[in-house]
Amino acid sequence: MNNQSISVVIVDDHALFRNGLHQLLSSRDVNVVGMTGDPHNAVSMVEQSKPDIVLLDLRMQELGGLDVLKQLKKADPEQCVVILTTSVEEQDLMDALKLGAMGYLLKDMEIDVFVQLLAQARTGDTVVAPELTSLLAKAAVSRDEKPKPTASESYNLTPREMDILRHIAQGKSNKDIAASLGIVDGTVKLHVRAVLKKLKVQSRVQAAVLAISENLCDEPES
């Protein structure tokens, strides 16, 4: 995999971790174009260096990562921001994705897996540490269940788009969805694009979060 084109800014208030990550990423041909331990400098640094990805610590003393995320997305809604944290709390994950983060990765991940997921985020995929994907399903548990309009009623999804949304909510890739539904990858991509547009979200993980939080997949399959 060619990571040479990936440029990143690291925003983390722990100097040892920040510098260690810089060395590890540089050894994998990822270009670190900026680092800061001061979250208040994050937006200006990102505006100056224009990285492909901002690696943003979730827990910082001066200013919380989610607050920095809001500022970054306000300054540039298209900026790819990946949260980098030790938190495996469901609420942290859901909040970050709802605010537009394109990834939620853990600080103890293997570097090669980490870089591979960065490469996916660079292409527009929303990435989550593999051990956290089950948290998306858990979001449907332990809350008051109230009858809500189905996805087809609320968002005007067709039966086929509902099928696609169910598979997205299960975390399946386009290839897996194509195999399950007996259609080609290109057709899946078109349906996914339509689903994201109707749900008014930017990524498939945000679609999964919305589907789970609003019980959109509860209606019977066609």
Burial (Cβ within 10 Å: 0-12, 13-18, ≥19) of residue 198 = middle
Comparing 91 with 111, the larger pLDDT belongs to 111
The per-residue pLDDT for 221 is 53
Q: Which CATH class is domain 7-136?
A: alpha beta
Question: CATH number of the domain at 151-213, please?
Answer: 1.10.10.10
Helix (H/G/I), strand (E/B), else coil: 170: coil
Per-domain residue ranges for the chain? 7-136, 151-213
Mean pLDDT in residue range 11-22: 93
- The model's pLDDT over 158-216, given as tens digits with 9 standing for 90+, comes to 889 988 998 888 878 888 899 999 999 899 999 999 999 998 887 877 788 788 777 77
- Could you give the CA distance from residue 170 to residue 134 in angstroms, rounded to a whole number? 9
- Judge contact between 8 and 54, C-beta under 8 A: yes
Is the dihedral angle over the CA atoms 21, 25, 30, 33 positive or is it negative?
positive
- Name the one residue in this structure whose structure tokens are 């990435």: 127
Q: Which of 73, 12, 19 is nearest to 47 (CA)?
A: 73
